[in-house]
Amino acid sequence: MTVYSVIGAGVAGLAVATELVARRAKVQVFDPGGPPGPHGCSWWAGGMLAPWCEYENAEEPVLRLGQQAIGWWAEKTEITRRGTLVVANARDLPDLRRFARRTERFREAKNGEIAELEPDLHGFGKGLFFADEAHLDPRKALQDLHRGLRDNGVEFHRKLAPTGLENAIDCRGLHARDLLYDLRGVKGEMLVIRCPDVTLTRPVRLLHPRMPLYIVPRGDGVYMLGATMIESEDSSRITARSMLELLSAAYALNPAFGEAEVLEIGVDLRPAFPDNLPRIRRLGRTIYANGLYRHGYLLAPALAQGVADLALENKHSEMVDEDRA
């Protein structure tokens, strides 16, 4: 029986392995970093399943393919379906109007409705409510996929994949950049804070012309604040400016965030192709699945299905842009 070797156990690799196993293929996984952890950029993600919001600044496939993600993840991990709230300060209302023009499936929240949805948000007269969106805890999601695979007998090798593997599926993100000429890194910075004084129950996006930011509740008063997008490939440190901007956004949502504890600072590089859409490429004996950019959790299910279609059925989904088997 053919054994598929998935290389890389981030969200892409684990989703691909999960999809292959669901279609009764035999799979093994290689990752020298071991089980899901801070070595992978998906560890630092927001975990928003927000195809309608993301469409504001993304290509159409993100909207269409992203919609499948909510159902896919719901079968594998715990997701929260409480929608997304988008707000702006009074002087940035043109940004809210623009956001509304470029997105769909929302309703305007006004006249106190914001306070009804999230009583701890003060001073926002107008907002947009995307009721159908959801979010998940990315770390828990990765661990759940990992556990699910192990339960299904998938072997995890904590080492580099040997060279010359047959039926390899390379999901190493930016580590594969030497083999994918048009892959680049886009720097992202995020913070995890704890602030039991503030209760938010759904992701909130604060629009701002220079630094649109979001905050995602992780439960127990813990929040993820994200995320910068910088065309830089330096993942060593957060800059003071980014930290200031992230924290000011939280402070603008509710000044009580000023007393939050900063639990974590995350910096990593998102793998991205020039149009910021993922790609599947078959070059020789290896299939490369990469370029999830800022849509790791939103597009990993569609990417995984595309890989399984190609590997098992030789079917070309729209993400396949090159096939030189």
Partner 1 sequence: MKTFYGTELPNPLMLGTAQYPSPAILEQAFRESGAGVATVSLRREGAGGAGQTFWAMIRDLGVLILPNTAGCHTVKEAVTTAQMAREVFGTPWIKLELIGHTDSLQPDVFQLVEAARILTEDGFQVFPYTTDDLIVGERLLGAGCEVLMPWGAPIGSGRGLNNEYALRAMRAEFPDVPLVVDAGIGLPSHAAHAMELGYDAVLLNTAVARAGDPAAMARAMALAIDAGRLAHEADPIEARDMAEPSTPVIGKAFLS
Strands 155-157 and 26-30: parallel
Out of 1, 164, 178, 274, name the contact with partner 1 by CB under 8 A: 274
Please report whether residue 276 would count as binding partner 1 according to CB under 8 A.
Answer: yes
Q: How far is the CB of 51 from partner 1 (least distance, A)?
A: 15
148 strand-pairing partners: none
Task: Give one word for 247, left, alpha or beta, with left for phi > 0 and alpha for psi -120 to 50.
Answer: alpha
Joined together, the tokens standing for residue 179 give 């083999």
Q: How far is the CB of 231 from partner 1 (least distance, A)?
A: 4
Calpha distance 127→82 (Å, rounded): 15
Calpha distance 304→307 (Å, rounded): 5
Out of 2, 111, 152, 232, name the contact with partner 1 by CB under 8 A: 232
Residue closer to partner 1 by CB (options 27, 299) is: 299
Q: How far is the CB of 76 from partner 1 (least distance, A)?
A: 29
Out of 1, 101, 164, 220, name the contact with partner 1 by CB under 8 A: 101
Joined together, the tokens standing for residue 70 give 């909510």
Calpha distance 220→167 (Å, rounded): 43
Please report whether residue 102 would count as binding partner 1 according to CB under 8 A.
Answer: yes
Residue closer to partner 1 by CB (options 211, 312) is: 211
The site string for partner 1 over 45-74 (x = CB under 8 A, - otherwise) reads ------------xxx---------------
DSSP secondary structure letters along 165-230: -TTEEE--GGGGTTT-TT-EEEEEEEEEEE-TT----S-EEEE-SS--EEEEEEETTEEEEE---B
Residues 160-189 that bind partner 1 (CB under 8 A): 184-185, 187
Q: How far is the CB of 306 from partner 1 (least distance, A)?
A: 19
Point out which span in 28-36, 97-105, 189-197, 218-226 binds partner 1 (CB under 8 A): 97-105
CA distance to 73, 85, 116, per residue, from 253 (Å):
29, 12, 15
Residues that bind partner 1 (CB under 8 A): 57-59, 98, 101-102, 184-185, 187, 209-210, 230-234, 239, 241, 272, 274-276
